[in-house]
Amino acid sequence: MNRIDKHPVLNTTQNRKKVNFKFNGETQSGYENEPVSSALIANGVREFSVHQIEDAPQGIFCANGQCSHCTLIIDGKPLKSCITPLKEGMEIRTLMHLPELPPDDREPENFKPLNLNCDVLVIGGGPSGLTSAIELAKLGFEIILIDDKDKLGGKLLLQTHKFFGSIEDCYAGKRGIEIAALLEKEIRTYSNIKVFTNTSVAALYKDKKAGLFIDYKNYALVDFQGLVISAGAREKNLVFPGNDIPGVYGAGAFQTLVNRDLVKSSDRIFIIGSGNVGLIAAYHALQAGITVVGIADILDDVTGYKVHADKIRRMGVPIYLKHTVLTAEGSGKVERVTIAEVDDSFNPLLEKAKTFEVDTLLIAVGLSSIDEFYNTAVNFGYKAVKTGDADEIAEASSAMFGGRIAGLQLAKILGKDVEIDESWFAKAEILKSKPGKIKSEPVVEINENYTPIMHCYQEIPCNPCISVCPSGSIKLEEALGNIMDLPYYTGEECTRCGMCIAVCPGLAISVAKKTDDKWAEVVLPHEFIPAFGVGEFVTLTDTEGNEIEKSEVIKIQLNKKYKTNLITFRVSLENAAKIAGIRVQDEDKIKPLPIPVFNYIPDNSILCRCERVSVGEIIKFIKENDIKDANQLKQIRVGMGACGSRTCSILLPRIFSAAGVNWYEVTQATKRPLSIEIPMGAIINEESGETA
């Protein structure tokens, strides 16, 4: 099975109960209550359904319940496998074309309306939802907090890297999985917070009620006075030939499989998008033992933090700037991806194409807020606030502060006399700041004393190295007067405790010391299970990943608090200040094929994945019928699929523009009211006979 059994950060020896199930008649095994989709991928299954158009194979895309591409026939019913927990003896089949409704002529036996009440309903148990609920609970409100996963934490549960920000305000230096555990522990201390996991909001109604699909079995109506929308965001898709074949999916889906479910979903991946999500996904892949062949971005500079980009470059991952994806191709699944350089108008230069052999292509080109519930709430006149990614796409550290502020803002709307600390607003703004100026690399003189060297030169909101230094010898510059300032070593005595090296989220600090006129010692961070031992020689790189020298390992020490190895090397004195990282993967693993191999027909790209409607078909329909209303595209099935147009709607502005129509003059499509498919039996609580 494709499981991750070794990881430098995650506990891979979890005591999980193994169960057997059947997939297309063959007995397979997985772990009880893990998503069915994860169990299948661990068993090597990539194809989940076969579309009625052209018998096209389909696999997962979001692994987050937002699309429908993982739908399978599970115990006779079409269900999204990414939110369906695996049970012993399940009968699972590939969905062939359209599912049939199972016959059911039973008389209702258990019908009983379920009604709940609360002061505040919080939709979403991610960082902002949790902090909102905590602030409201402190003020005495009765709260119902719902989340569609089996554990609270949202995207924090996928983050094995250390967070930026400040230790005092947002747990900087801790990993997302650790922050999630801390917030959940605090949530559970409040008796006035009732938590429903594995639960989705089906819809909001005009009479201040919401429909809850509890444990994906029972339907309940909840009355509330105030509403916090912290539903997060969904991943954006891209339009290119092959964008819908199994093995093309969102970076968040990849992190879900690898970091949450410990499934080694891939052997070789390529990533489109150099924002923080794509850069972090590359790092997570390397930690899971997966080769990262490269990252491509159509822009001429990395859009995420430079320290993230430098970190993975040092580990041997190339970043192709001013490149776009041309195609993903393979026999029923991804087997190769082709990228090409673009000109100044972003048109691909086919003569500069490169083809790579991979089994997975990750799309990391941004997120779109899940704010539909907030818009509905505003239309219905609810007392509501939105926060986190549902309000604005930003880092989780900012979302935690935003959640606290949103909770108190709602309390004021509901009549509580509360004061919001004005400094919170400033801190929240700083924490969601875009990367700032990049300054030149300072010249560092190495002497007989230990010297911390900062390999971070871009202004970002981060200061944990300042907080952990026991001698106070690391400080921030005073150019901006906040945590966006760069850190520097004051020259005071360094004790070589290694805390600054271990805590740094960007792995961007080394410590060096001169040992004689020719040699020096350098201590570097390493968040991997070392594949080398003392006495072996390892390739070391500069800040941006250029090879400097092969150096001897003289000590390996694990900092248990931060789960980071501190590796001491004997290096040449002349290179000691420049050395910043350890190469993780070899160059021969990431080379493109000698000759590019691709079939580039962009009009064949699929825009509506559910109904398999191509870009060319839509543009032709818009032109021939002078379409100015997006609802009219439903005539050719655009937006009529099972995902409810969540995936394709954000791509429509580009398509209308390509057809010569100004998007701002187009009437927006009416969205379907339900957010998740619910069997009729569940609405009358006949699915299980259980009650909330």
- Residues 260, 317, single domain; the answer is yes
Asked if pLDDT for residue 676 goes beyond 90, the answer is no
Asked if pLDDT for residue 672 goes beyond 70, the answer is no
Give the integer Cα–Cα distance in Å for 399 and 404.
9
Domain of residue 643: give its range.
601-687
- Residues 128, 55, single domain; the answer is no
- Residues 456, 568, single domain; the answer is yes
- Residues 264, 162, single domain; the answer is no
Residue 86 lies in a domain: yes
- Residues 379, 342, single domain; the answer is no
Q: What is the pLDDT of residue 692?
A: 40
- Taking the CA atoms of 72, 74, 80 and 85 in sequence, report the sign of the dihedral they define: negative
- Residues 210, 256, single domain; the answer is no
Residue 11 lies in a domain: no
Tell which of 589, 618, 633 closes a domain. 589
Mean local confidence (pLDDT), 558-568: 96
- Residues 641, 676, single domain; the answer is yes
Residue 109 lies in a domain: no
Asked if pLDDT for residue 108 goes beyond 80, the answer is no
Q: What is the pLDDT of residue 217?
A: 84
Mean local confidence (pLDDT), 600-625: 91
Residue 270 lies in a domain: yes
- Residues 462, 579, single domain; the answer is yes
More confident residue, 649 or 534: 534
Give the integer Cα–Cα distance in Å for 601 and 131.
48
CB neighbours (10 Å) of residue 140? 10
Residue 303 lies in a domain: yes
Give the integer Cα–Cα distance in Å for 9 and 259.
10
Q: Check: CB of residue 222 under 8 Å from CB of residue 210.
A: yes
- Residues 323, 177, single domain; the answer is no
Nearest to 327 by CA among 43, 673, 597, 669: 597
Q: Collapsing DSSP states into helix, strand and coil, what is residue 680?
A: helix
Q: Cα angle vertex 387, ends 386, 389, to 5°? A: 115
Tell which of 363, 384, 414 closes a domain. 363
Give CA separation, 137 vs 78, 612, 633, in Å. Answer: 39, 46, 46
Residue 531 lies in a domain: yes
Give the integer Cα–Cα distance in Å for 480 and 505.
21
CATH label of the domain that carries residue 427: 3.50.50.60
- Residues 424, 547, single domain; the answer is no
Q: Report the domain count for the chain.
A: 4
Tell which of 307, 342, 363 closes a domain. 363
Give the pLDDT confidence of 55-102 residue by residue, as tens digits. Answer: 999 999 988 888 888 999 999 988 899 989 999 999 999 999 988 877
% of the chain residues with pLDDT over 70: 97
- Residues 473, 583, single domain; the answer is yes
Q: Check: CB of residue 501 under 8 Å from CB of residue 509.
A: yes
Confidence band of 691 (pLDDT split at 50, 70, 90): very low
Mean local confidence (pLDDT), 480-494: 91
- Residues 119, 83, single domain; the answer is no
Give the pLDDT confidence of 14-64 residue by residue, as tens digits. Answer: 789 999 999 999 999 999 999 999 999 999 999 999 999 999 999 999 888
